[in-house]
Homo-oligomer: A and B are copies of this chain.
Amino acid sequence: MKLLITGGGGFLGARLARTLLARGTLAGRAITRVVLTDIAPPPADLLADARVEARTGALLMHTEALRDEPFDGVFHLASAVSGECEADFDLGLRSNLDSTRALLDALRFNVNAGGAATRVVFSSSVAVFGPDPSVPLPAVVTDTTLPAPQTSYGTHKLICEHLVADYTRKGYIDGRAARLMTVTVRPGKPNGAASSFFSGIIREPLAGMEAVCPVDASVSHPVSSPTRTVDGLIAVFEASREAFNGRTAMNLPALNVRVSDMLDALAAVAGPAVRERVRFERDERIAAIVANWPGGASADRAARLGLAAHGGFAEIIRQYIDDCAAAPNAEQTLKGLSR
């Protein structure tokens, strides 16, 4: 089968591609080709796989050609992130709304030309939720909590959820929207997103660096590991329509943790000296943004697909350490860890 992963050069897209290529099959069929689109080329290990084809450039550059190119499955992960959308409103509309519309219309074009409806997993986000004076935000958002986005990014994700649902209703795609939780621990550098510290307060101390936590230790947030997030996307793809149960978006499993839980887990896994590299320095701008985010999420529909979050944050840290240890730059990324 031939797959398309938009945003396939990014952290999550590349990880999804690796996982799929290692499995070799999806929904019982052999994966013969994986097309990765992204503004930057994918990592070298993916390019070295003969099944992989990279198409570099904004998604909108590629969608016209997709009209004549059938795919068996699409993972649509490409997106401008929240900080980018807040800074450049037009960029957000173009990258998140226009690109998704163009992608869905390309797939519709295929169906109108006699092709089968392509299965599409759209990566939505817990960012669709937020407090509005008319809609108090519950402590734990469920699959059926009323979304009230507080950012353009969350707005775009919600809009695309409904486009995916309507194109699915019409038979133009077989679409499923899954809401990703905040993925941690992300490798690499801080990325300027308000949620960046959820990875930074683990990643930096493990690398022997100091980290600043800009919010109170009591702040709670729904997070997920990269592995469980990728597993969730794949399970949503493989689910029958009956098992997916409807056309509305589904929350992926969340581990609802307080910052203090995360740091306790860091001390337990890596030792108190590592945890001591995190200091609290409140950033009012970030704290105000985070205050608009849900403190937790539940995922009843995903649970019925057999998906679950990690049992505790220590598992997530251990997974990150294992990932780093297997990578060539382990000396750097785990510099702070006495092993």
Which chain A residues have a beta carbon within 8 Å of chain B's beta carbons?
A: 89, 93, 101, 108, 132-135, 143-146, 148-150, 152, 155, 158-159, 162-163, 165-166, 169-170, 172, 245-248, 250, 301
Contact = CB atoms under 8 A, between A and B. Distances in A.
Contact of A247 (B101, B132, B170, B245): B132
A152 B146 CA distance: 20
B134 A144 contact: yes
Copies of this chain, complex-wide, total 2
Nearest to A143: B134
A307 to B, nearest CB: 15
30 contacts: A89-B170, A89-B172, A93-B101, A132-B246, A132-B247, A132-B248, A133-B245, A133-B246, A134-B144, A134-B250, A134-B301, A135-B246, A135-B248, A144-B146, A145-B146, A146-B146, A146-B248, A148-B246, A148-B247, A148-B248, A149-B162, A149-B165, A149-B166, A152-B170, A155-B162, A155-B163, A155-B165, A158-B162, A159-B159, A159-B163
A245 B134 CA distance: 6
Nearest to A152: B166
With most chain B CB atoms within 10 A of its CB, the pick from A93, A134, A152, A248 is A134
Contacts of A245: 133-134
Contacts of A162: 149, 155, 158-159
Given A133-B245, A134-B301, A159-B159, 13 more contacts: A89-B108, A132-B248, A133-B246, A134-B143, A134-B245, A134-B250, A135-B248, A145-B146, A148-B165, A149-B162, A152-B170, A155-B163, A158-B162
Nearest to A142: B146
Contacts of A152: 166, 170
A105 to B, nearest CB: 8
A242 to B, nearest CB: 9
A133 to B, nearest CB: 4
A148 B146 CA distance: 11
Contacts of A150: 169
Nearest to A300: B134
A67 to B, nearest CB: 14
Contacts of A172: 89
A140 to B, nearest CB: 16
B148 A155 contact: no
A190 B47 CA distance: 60
A245 B172 CA distance: 38
Contacts of A159: 159, 162-163
A83 to B, nearest CB: 14
Contact of A135 (B89, B93, B144, B166): B144
A145 to B, nearest CB: 8
A165 B133 CA distance: 13
Contact of A248 (B134, B145, B170): B134
Contact of A134 (B145, B155, B246): B246
A261 to B, nearest CB: 30
Contacts of A148: 165, 246-248
A139 B300 CA distance: 23
Contacts of A143: 134
Contacts of A132: 246-248
Contacts of A108: 89
